[in-house]
Amino acid sequence: MEPAEATAADTEEGALRASLARGDAMLGAVAPVLRYLLVHDDNGMLSEQIVARVRGMIVDLAVALLDRLAAPDETPHRPLHPEADIAALTAAFAADAALLGHVHALALEWQLTERLQARTALDPVVSPLLQALLASPDAATASLAMRGLAAQARFGQAQRRMQLPPGELPADLLHAALLALRAFAGTRPGGERQASKAEAAIRAEYDESRSRIALLSRLVTGLGPGAVAALTVGHAGAAIFLTALAAAAGQDREQAVLATGEGQVARLALTLRAAGLKPEAIGEQLFALHPDAPPLPGFDRIAPDHAAALIAGTAPCRDR
Protein backbone atom coordinates (compact mmCIF):
# COMPACT_ATOMS: atom_id res chain seq x y z
CA MET A 1 0.00 0.00 0.00
CA GLU A 2 2.90 2.43 0.71
CA PRO A 3 4.11 2.61 -2.93
CA ALA A 4 0.53 3.23 -4.08
CA GLU A 5 0.15 6.12 -1.59
CA ALA A 6 3.43 7.64 -2.74
CA THR A 7 2.30 7.40 -6.36
CA ALA A 8 -0.95 9.20 -5.50
CA ALA A 9 0.96 11.95 -3.72
CA ASP A 10 3.29 12.31 -6.70
CA THR A 11 0.32 12.59 -9.03
CA GLU A 12 -1.35 15.23 -6.87
CA GLU A 13 1.84 17.28 -6.58
CA GLY A 14 2.34 16.92 -10.31
CA ALA A 15 -1.12 18.40 -10.83
CA LEU A 16 -0.19 21.33 -8.57
CA ARG A 17 3.03 21.85 -10.51
CA ALA A 18 1.13 21.79 -13.81
CA SER A 19 -1.39 24.31 -12.50
CA LEU A 20 1.46 26.55 -11.32
CA ALA A 21 3.09 26.28 -14.74
CA ARG A 22 -0.15 27.34 -16.45
CA GLY A 23 -0.43 30.24 -14.01
CA ASP A 24 3.19 31.23 -14.69
CA ALA A 25 2.49 31.28 -18.42
CA MET A 26 -0.46 33.59 -17.85
CA LEU A 27 1.56 35.92 -15.61
CA GLY A 28 4.47 35.96 -18.05
CA ALA A 29 2.20 37.26 -20.79
CA VAL A 30 0.89 40.15 -18.68
CA ALA A 31 3.75 42.65 -18.91
CA PRO A 32 4.35 42.48 -22.70
CA VAL A 33 0.64 42.77 -23.47
CA LEU A 34 0.12 45.62 -21.02
CA ARG A 35 3.18 47.43 -22.35
CA TYR A 36 1.88 47.26 -25.91
CA LEU A 37 -1.61 48.37 -24.97
CA LEU A 38 -0.35 51.31 -22.91
CA VAL A 39 1.75 52.66 -25.77
CA HIS A 40 -0.65 51.99 -28.66
CA ASP A 41 -4.24 53.13 -28.99
CA ASP A 42 -5.41 50.35 -31.31
CA ASN A 43 -6.50 48.08 -28.49
CA GLY A 44 -10.24 47.86 -29.12
CA MET A 45 -10.46 44.08 -28.78
CA LEU A 46 -8.44 44.04 -25.55
CA SER A 47 -9.73 47.15 -23.76
CA GLU A 48 -10.48 45.32 -20.54
CA GLN A 49 -11.21 47.23 -17.33
CA ILE A 50 -7.82 46.37 -15.87
CA VAL A 51 -5.94 47.60 -18.93
CA ALA A 52 -7.95 50.83 -18.96
CA ARG A 53 -7.24 51.38 -15.29
CA VAL A 54 -3.53 50.67 -15.66
CA ARG A 55 -3.32 53.00 -18.62
CA GLY A 56 -5.23 55.69 -16.75
CA MET A 57 -2.89 55.48 -13.75
CA ILE A 58 0.27 55.53 -15.87
CA VAL A 59 -0.98 58.52 -17.86
CA ASP A 60 -2.00 60.32 -14.67
CA LEU A 61 1.48 59.75 -13.22
CA ALA A 62 3.03 61.11 -16.41
CA VAL A 63 0.83 64.22 -16.32
CA ALA A 64 1.55 64.78 -12.61
CA LEU A 65 5.31 64.72 -13.21
CA LEU A 66 5.02 66.90 -16.30
CA ASP A 67 3.08 69.36 -14.13
CA ARG A 68 5.97 69.50 -11.68
CA LEU A 69 8.44 69.82 -14.53
CA ALA A 70 6.56 72.88 -15.77
CA ALA A 71 5.99 74.29 -12.27
CA PRO A 72 8.28 72.73 -9.63
CA ASP A 73 6.56 74.64 -6.81
CA GLU A 74 3.22 72.95 -7.58
CA THR A 75 1.00 75.86 -8.60
CA PRO A 76 -2.76 75.25 -8.30
CA HIS A 77 -3.31 75.61 -12.07
CA ARG A 78 -2.35 72.53 -14.05
CA PRO A 79 -0.75 73.43 -17.40
CA LEU A 80 -1.73 71.73 -20.62
CA HIS A 81 0.87 69.37 -22.07
CA PRO A 82 1.31 68.24 -25.67
CA GLU A 83 -0.09 64.78 -26.25
CA ALA A 84 3.29 63.73 -27.63
CA ASP A 85 4.95 64.58 -24.30
CA ILE A 86 2.39 62.61 -22.31
CA ALA A 87 2.73 59.67 -24.69
CA ALA A 88 6.54 59.72 -24.50
CA LEU A 89 6.62 59.69 -20.70
CA THR A 90 3.84 57.08 -20.56
CA ALA A 91 5.91 54.86 -22.86
CA ALA A 92 8.95 55.32 -20.63
CA PHE A 93 6.97 54.28 -17.56
CA ALA A 94 5.45 51.33 -19.41
CA ALA A 95 8.94 50.13 -20.30
CA ASP A 96 9.79 49.80 -16.61
CA ALA A 97 8.67 46.28 -15.66
CA ALA A 98 8.73 46.95 -11.91
CA LEU A 99 6.66 50.12 -12.18
CA LEU A 100 4.23 48.52 -14.60
CA GLY A 101 3.88 45.48 -12.33
CA HIS A 102 3.16 47.68 -9.33
CA VAL A 103 0.44 49.62 -11.15
CA HIS A 104 -1.07 46.41 -12.48
CA ALA A 105 -1.19 45.02 -8.93
CA LEU A 106 -3.00 48.15 -7.72
CA ALA A 107 -5.62 47.71 -10.43
CA LEU A 108 -6.07 44.03 -9.56
CA GLU A 109 -6.34 44.87 -5.87
CA TRP A 110 -9.12 47.36 -6.53
CA GLN A 111 -10.90 44.87 -8.77
CA LEU A 112 -10.79 42.34 -5.92
CA THR A 113 -12.03 44.99 -3.49
CA GLU A 114 -15.01 45.81 -5.71
CA ARG A 115 -15.75 42.13 -6.26
CA LEU A 116 -15.84 41.46 -2.52
CA GLN A 117 -18.09 44.47 -1.99
CA ALA A 118 -20.52 43.30 -4.66
CA ARG A 119 -20.57 39.68 -3.50
CA THR A 120 -20.36 40.00 0.28
CA ALA A 121 -21.12 43.68 0.99
CA LEU A 122 -17.61 44.07 2.47
CA ASP A 123 -16.91 47.78 2.83
CA PRO A 124 -13.98 48.77 0.55
CA VAL A 125 -12.56 51.12 3.21
CA VAL A 126 -13.60 50.00 6.71
CA SER A 127 -13.32 46.24 7.23
CA PRO A 128 -14.34 44.56 10.51
CA LEU A 129 -10.67 44.23 11.49
CA LEU A 130 -10.00 47.90 10.81
CA GLN A 131 -13.08 48.81 12.84
CA ALA A 132 -11.68 46.84 15.76
CA LEU A 133 -8.33 48.57 15.45
CA LEU A 134 -10.01 51.97 15.34
CA ALA A 135 -11.70 51.13 18.64
CA SER A 136 -8.46 49.92 20.25
CA PRO A 137 -7.80 51.28 23.76
CA ASP A 138 -4.18 51.76 22.69
CA ALA A 139 -3.97 55.33 21.38
CA ALA A 140 -1.07 54.59 19.01
CA THR A 141 -2.91 51.66 17.42
CA ALA A 142 -6.12 53.64 17.01
CA SER A 143 -4.21 56.57 15.51
CA LEU A 144 -2.39 54.32 13.03
CA ALA A 145 -5.71 52.68 12.11
CA MET A 146 -7.25 56.10 11.45
CA ARG A 147 -4.38 57.03 9.15
CA GLY A 148 -4.74 53.67 7.41
CA LEU A 149 -8.47 54.29 6.95
CA ALA A 150 -7.82 57.73 5.42
CA ALA A 151 -5.18 56.27 3.10
CA GLN A 152 -7.52 53.48 1.98
CA ALA A 153 -10.28 56.01 1.33
CA ARG A 154 -7.89 58.06 -0.82
CA PHE A 155 -6.86 54.88 -2.66
CA GLY A 156 -10.48 54.10 -3.50
CA GLN A 157 -11.07 57.61 -4.75
CA ALA A 158 -7.89 57.52 -6.84
CA GLN A 159 -8.82 54.17 -8.34
CA ARG A 160 -12.28 55.39 -9.33
CA ARG A 161 -10.60 58.32 -11.08
CA MET A 162 -7.78 56.14 -12.45
CA GLN A 163 -5.16 58.30 -10.71
CA LEU A 164 -1.77 57.49 -9.22
CA PRO A 165 -0.29 60.16 -6.92
CA PRO A 166 3.53 60.07 -7.07
CA GLY A 167 3.67 60.18 -3.27
CA GLU A 168 2.00 56.76 -3.08
CA LEU A 169 4.76 55.03 -5.02
CA PRO A 170 7.36 52.95 -3.16
CA ALA A 171 10.67 54.82 -2.94
CA ASP A 172 12.48 52.73 -5.57
CA LEU A 173 9.66 53.18 -8.08
CA LEU A 174 9.43 56.92 -7.49
CA HIS A 175 13.18 57.07 -8.07
CA ALA A 176 12.76 55.18 -11.36
CA ALA A 177 9.94 57.50 -12.43
CA LEU A 178 12.08 60.56 -11.67
CA LEU A 179 14.97 59.11 -13.67
CA ALA A 180 12.58 58.66 -16.60
CA LEU A 181 11.42 62.26 -16.20
CA ARG A 182 15.05 63.45 -16.13
CA ALA A 183 15.85 61.51 -19.31
CA PHE A 184 12.75 62.93 -21.01
CA ALA A 185 13.58 66.51 -19.99
CA GLY A 186 17.23 66.14 -20.92
CA THR A 187 16.40 66.13 -24.62
CA ARG A 188 15.21 69.78 -24.44
CA PRO A 189 17.04 73.07 -23.98
CA GLY A 190 17.13 73.88 -20.27
CA GLY A 191 15.36 70.63 -19.49
CA GLU A 192 18.03 69.27 -17.17
CA ARG A 193 17.78 72.33 -14.92
CA GLN A 194 13.97 72.10 -14.86
CA ALA A 195 14.13 68.40 -14.08
CA SER A 196 16.59 68.97 -11.23
CA LYS A 197 14.31 71.57 -9.63
CA ALA A 198 11.22 69.38 -10.05
CA GLU A 199 13.00 66.31 -8.70
CA ALA A 200 14.33 68.19 -5.68
CA ALA A 201 10.86 69.53 -4.86
CA ILE A 202 9.22 66.10 -5.18
CA ARG A 203 11.87 64.37 -3.07
CA ALA A 204 11.59 67.06 -0.39
CA GLU A 205 7.85 66.42 -0.07
CA TYR A 206 8.05 62.63 -0.26
CA ASP A 207 7.71 60.48 2.84
CA GLU A 208 7.28 56.78 2.12
CA SER A 209 6.14 56.09 5.68
CA ARG A 210 2.94 58.05 4.99
CA SER A 211 2.01 55.98 1.94
CA ARG A 212 -0.94 53.59 2.11
CA ILE A 213 1.16 50.46 1.66
CA ALA A 214 3.58 51.52 4.40
CA LEU A 215 0.72 52.27 6.80
CA LEU A 216 -0.94 48.91 6.06
CA SER A 217 2.37 47.14 6.67
CA ARG A 218 2.74 48.85 10.04
CA LEU A 219 -0.82 47.91 10.95
CA VAL A 220 -0.17 44.24 10.19
CA THR A 221 3.19 44.26 11.99
CA GLY A 222 1.55 45.84 15.02
CA LEU A 223 -0.89 42.93 15.27
CA GLY A 224 1.95 40.64 16.34
CA PRO A 225 0.70 37.07 16.85
CA GLY A 226 -2.80 38.35 16.12
CA ALA A 227 -1.81 38.95 12.50
CA VAL A 228 -3.38 35.57 11.67
CA ALA A 229 -6.73 37.39 11.88
CA ALA A 230 -5.62 39.48 8.92
CA LEU A 231 -5.39 36.32 6.79
CA THR A 232 -9.19 36.08 6.66
CA VAL A 233 -10.19 38.26 3.74
CA GLY A 234 -13.78 38.71 4.88
CA HIS A 235 -12.60 40.03 8.23
CA ALA A 236 -9.53 42.01 7.17
CA GLY A 237 -10.64 43.38 3.83
CA ALA A 238 -8.62 43.02 0.64
CA ALA A 239 -5.99 45.67 1.43
CA ILE A 240 -4.98 44.36 4.85
CA PHE A 241 -5.39 40.72 3.79
CA LEU A 242 -2.98 41.14 0.87
CA THR A 243 -0.46 42.95 3.05
CA ALA A 244 -0.61 40.23 5.72
CA LEU A 245 -0.45 37.44 3.14
CA ALA A 246 2.69 38.88 1.54
CA ALA A 247 4.38 39.33 4.93
CA ALA A 248 3.48 35.87 6.22
CA ALA A 249 4.47 34.10 2.99
CA GLY A 250 7.70 36.09 2.58
CA GLN A 251 6.66 37.56 -0.77
CA ASP A 252 6.41 40.98 -2.37
CA ARG A 253 2.95 42.47 -2.05
CA GLU A 254 2.58 42.47 -5.84
CA GLN A 255 3.12 38.70 -5.85
CA ALA A 256 0.40 38.24 -3.26
CA VAL A 257 -2.00 40.34 -5.32
CA LEU A 258 -1.26 38.36 -8.48
CA ALA A 259 -1.96 35.13 -6.59
CA THR A 260 -5.58 36.22 -6.09
CA GLY A 261 -6.22 36.62 -9.83
CA GLU A 262 -8.23 34.39 -12.12
CA GLY A 263 -6.45 31.17 -13.03
CA GLN A 264 -4.15 31.40 -10.01
CA VAL A 265 -6.04 29.20 -7.54
CA ALA A 266 -3.13 26.79 -7.07
CA ARG A 267 -0.73 29.68 -6.47
CA LEU A 268 -3.10 31.29 -3.99
CA ALA A 269 -3.57 28.02 -2.11
CA LEU A 270 0.19 27.45 -1.92
CA THR A 271 0.77 31.06 -0.85
CA LEU A 272 -1.78 30.67 1.94
CA ARG A 273 -0.11 27.41 2.98
CA ALA A 274 3.31 29.07 2.92
CA ALA A 275 1.82 31.76 5.17
CA GLY A 276 1.08 29.04 7.72
CA LEU A 277 -2.67 28.55 7.28
CA LYS A 278 -4.09 25.08 7.82
CA PRO A 279 -5.93 23.34 4.96
CA GLU A 280 -9.38 24.05 6.44
CA ALA A 281 -8.67 27.78 6.70
CA ILE A 282 -7.19 27.78 3.21
CA GLY A 283 -10.36 26.20 1.86
CA GLU A 284 -12.42 28.98 3.44
CA GLN A 285 -10.29 31.69 1.83
CA LEU A 286 -10.33 29.98 -1.55
CA PHE A 287 -14.11 29.82 -1.39
CA ALA A 288 -14.32 33.50 -0.39
CA LEU A 289 -12.14 34.56 -3.30
CA HIS A 290 -12.97 31.93 -5.94
CA PRO A 291 -16.30 30.31 -5.00
CA ASP A 292 -16.54 28.43 -8.31
CA ALA A 293 -13.04 26.95 -8.26
CA PRO A 294 -12.79 23.15 -7.94
CA PRO A 295 -11.02 21.67 -4.88
CA LEU A 296 -7.32 20.84 -5.02
CA PRO A 297 -6.87 17.11 -4.27
CA GLY A 298 -4.09 16.13 -1.91
CA PHE A 299 -3.41 19.71 -0.90
CA ASP A 300 -3.64 18.89 2.81
CA ARG A 301 -0.38 16.91 2.51
CA ILE A 302 1.69 19.93 1.40
CA ALA A 303 3.80 21.34 4.26
CA PRO A 304 4.24 25.14 4.52
CA ASP A 305 7.95 25.08 3.66
CA HIS A 306 7.30 22.81 0.68
CA ALA A 307 4.51 25.13 -0.48
CA ALA A 308 6.94 28.06 -0.35
CA ALA A 309 9.48 26.06 -2.33
CA LEU A 310 6.91 25.13 -4.95
CA ILE A 311 6.00 28.78 -5.41
CA ALA A 312 9.65 29.72 -5.75
CA GLY A 313 10.17 26.93 -8.26
CA THR A 314 12.82 25.26 -6.11
CA ALA A 315 10.90 22.25 -4.84
CA PRO A 316 13.04 19.13 -5.42
CA CYS A 317 11.55 16.18 -7.23
CA ARG A 318 10.54 13.25 -5.04
CA ASP A 319 12.78 10.21 -4.94
CA ARG A 320 11.14 7.41 -6.83
**For the segment 226-244, what is each residue's pLDDT rounded down to a tens digit?**
999 999 999 999 999 999 9
* DSSP code per residue over the chain: -HHHHHHHHHHHHHHHHHHHHHHHHHHHHHHHHHHHHHH-S--GGG--HHHHHHHHHHHHHHHHHHHHHH-TT--SSPPP--HHHHHHHHHHHHT-HHHHHHHHHHHHHHHHHHHHHHHH---SS--HHHHHHHT-SSHHHHHHHHHHHHHHHHHHHHHHTT---GGGS-HHHHHHHHHHHHHHHTTSTTHHHHHHHHHHHHHHH--GGGSHHHHHHHHHHHTGGGGGGGG-HHHHHHHHHHHHHHHHHT--HHHHHHHTSTT-HHHHHHHHHHTT--HHHHHHHHHHH-TTPPP-TTGGG--HHHHHHHHHT-PPPPP-
**For the segment 19-50, what is each residue's pLDDT rounded down to a tens digit?**
787 777 777 767 776 776 666 554 433 447 88
pLDDT of residue 1: 47
pLDDT of residue 5: 53
Q: pLDDT tens digits for the chain (320 residues)?
A: 445 555 667 777 777 887 787 777 777 767 776 776 666 554 433 447 888 999 999 999 999 999 999 876 666 566 789 999 999 999 999 999 999 999 999 999 999 999 999 999 999 999 999 999 999 999 999 999 999 999 999 999 999 999 999 999 999 999 999 999 999 998 888 888 999 999 999 999 999 999 999 999 999 999 999 999 999 999 999 999 999 999 999 999 999 999 998 888 999 999 999 999 999 999 999 999 999 888 787 777 889 999 899 888 754 444 33
